[in-house]
Amino acid sequence: MSTSGPLVGYKVIEMAGIGPNPMCAMMLADMGAEVIRVDRVVESGLGIPMEPKFSLLDRSRCSIAVDLKQPEGVALVLDLVEQADALIEGFRPGVMERLGVGPVECLARNPKLVFGRVTGWGQEGPLAKAAGHDINYISLVGASYAIGRPGAPPPPPLNLVGDFGGGAVYLALGVLAALLEAKTSGQGQVVDAAMVDGAASLMTATYGMHAAGVMSDNRGANILDGGAHFYDTYETSDGEFISIASIEAKFYDELMERTGFSDPEQAAHRDQTQWADHSTKMAAMFKSKTRAEWCEILEGTDVCFAPVLSITEAPKHPHNVAREAFVECDGVIHPAPAPRFSRTPSKIQKPASAPGADTDAVLERWGFSADSIQAWKADGVVA
């Protein structure tokens, strides 16, 4: 497998899971790290089942299936750890320790190892061992409460804020920072990336605005939550939607100039008590034309405008096409690797592997003998 990216040469063990851990592994693998996913020999039943080619988070890396209930399986993972730069896992607190591959065992075998772990509630605290999902973690830190319309329950923002923003990205950042530090100190360490912590961190600016008195606890009544008529989404005459974000005065001026919307001397732009009335007026204005007509008038201007595109439409938009923001792999459209590097570009290294599909090839490449591999397969240690 020919790889490219700024992390070529790094080796990472991924303990298979759902949500933020595979997202982090995908990011590291897209950047060129050799990431080996350690799957179970029997499916866990977690997550949303689908054919492997559509499990896009599993792209760019190989899979081996190991039975960690057998001592030989545990020994095999520890042998892999000896050669790795990092290990990442997303189990509940204590699971890796019970399996015999926790930080103590792994760092004893490889003192330079970065042991990255991502959980919902963190490694300790009253909720640490409770089950949860994205929406629960973002609810606890005020993020969920701040999203949505007044008088309606907060909507689930997919699983972008907790799983991926607060979990995967913070785990990747922590692992990379620890790898940099290990190069100078020669010592590994444990990275504790809790989704509840990451989601709280993502809310830093929001907490600042709240402390300054420019954002209230009233949902749908603030500048960035749909309370302002100049920062919202609107329906068009053909049942589609567009987005407006004319926060700054000069952008609001251009919005009025290009649309004919009336707000003399920007009175409503400054006066929050007028927002609701002007939202009604703006909704009527945008309902007068189709989405395509508004794109013709506003797209590419300083109004701060974009059409609201569906998942089917987005890869076909000219801007996304020009930037190759979406790429095809194995007949499936993927969001392209991000961020971009000028000299060592990332790429989708390979399509997603079915669990255990690469067991033989990976173990051979990592120096295990064919006889050992066959014996493990015969005993059910690997599959």
Please tell me the predicted confidence (pLDDT) of residue 320: 98
- Any domain includes 114: yes
| Residue 214 within any structural domain of the chain | no
Q: Is 133 known to be catalytic? A: yes
The model carries a pTM of 0.95
Considering the domain architecture, whether residues 15 and 155 belong to the same structural domain is answered as yes
Asked whether residue 177 carries a pLDDT value surpassing 70, the answer given is yes
- State residue 1's pLDDT score: 58
Mark whether 162 and 250 lie in a shared domain.
no
Averaged pLDDT, 329-338: 97
* Averaged pLDDT for residues 354-374: 96
Average pLDDT of the chain to the nearest whole number: 96
Residue with tokens 């929050």: 272
Domains contained in the chain, number: 2
The active-site residue out of 79, 133, 210, 317 is 133
- Residues 310, 345, single domain; the answer is no
Quick one: 235 and 363 in the same domain? Answer: no
Residue 302 bears catalytic tag:
no
Q: Are 273 and 176 within one domain?
A: no
pLDDT of residue 49: 81
Q: Is residue 211 part of a domain?
A: no
Full 3-state SS string of the chain: CCCCCCCCCCEEEEECCCCHHHHHHHHHHHCCCEEEEEECCCCCCCCCCCCHHHCHHHCCCEEEEECCCCHHHHHHHHHHHHHCCEEEECCCCCHHHHHCCCHHHHHHHCCCCEEEEEECCCCCCCCCCCCCCHHHHHHHCCCCCCCCCCCCCCCCCCCHHHHHHHHHHHHHHHHHHHHHHHHHHCCCEEEEEEHHHHHHHHCHHHHHHHHHCCCCCCCCCCCCCCCCCCEEEEECCCCCEEEEECCCHHHHHHHHHHHCCCCHHHHHHHCHHHHHHHHHHHHHHHCCCCHHHHHHHHCCCCCCEEECCCCCCHHHCHHHHHCCCEEEECCEEEECCCCCCCCCCCCCCCCCCCCCCCHHHHHHHCCCCHHHHHHHHHHCCEC
141 with 251, same domain: the answer is no
Domain that holds residue 255: 231-319
CB 23 within 8 A of CB 338: no
Residue 46's pLDDT band (cuts 50, 70, 90): low
pLDDT, one tens digit per residue, over 7-40 is 999 999 999 999 999 999 999 999 999 999 999 9
- Judge if 31 and 180 occupy the same domain: yes
Question: 254 in a domain, yes or no?
Answer: yes
The pLDDT confidence band at residue 306, using thresholds 50, 70 and 90, is: very high
Q: What is the mean pLDDT of residues 233-260?
A: 98
- Kindly report the CATH number assigned to the domain that includes residue 246: 3.30.1540.10
- Are 81 and 116 in a shared domain? yes
Q: pLDDT category, 52, cuts 50, 70, 90?
A: confident
255 and 141 housed in the same domain: no
Q: Is there a domain that residue 44 lies in?
A: yes
Residues 58, 87, single domain; the answer is: yes
In this predicted structure, what is the pLDDT of residue 45?
Answer: 61
At residue 264 the predicted structure's pLDDT band, cuts being 50, 70 and 90, is very high
For a pLDDT cut of 70, what percent of the chain falls above it? Answer: 99
Residue 218: inside a domain, yes or no? Answer: no
In this structure, of 33-47, 102-116, 244-258, 275-289, the range with the lowest mean pLDDT score is 33-47
Cα 78 from Cα 263, distance rounded (Å) = 67
pLDDT digits (tens, 9 = 90+) for 58-107: 999 999 999 999 999 999 999 999 999 999 999 999 999 999 999 999 99
Which residue among the candidates 39, 58, 85, 163 is catalytic per the annotation? 163
How confident is the model at residue 44, as a pLDDT?
65
User: How much of the chain, in percent, has pLDDT values that exceed 90?
Assistant: 96
Residues in Cβ contact with 171 at an 8 Å cutoff, skipping those fewer than 6 apart: 20, 21, 24, 88, 116, 118, 191, 193
| Residue where a domain stops, chosen among 276, 301, 319 | 319
Neighbour-count burial of 105, counting CB atoms closer than 10 A to its CB (0-12 exposed, 13-18 middle, 19+ buried): middle
The answer to whether position 213 is within a domain reads no
pLDDT of residue 43: 74
Residues 197 and 258 in one domain: no
Q: Same domain, yes or no, for 171 and 251?
A: no
Domain membership of residue 221 (yes or no) is no
CATH number, position 36: 3.40.50.10540
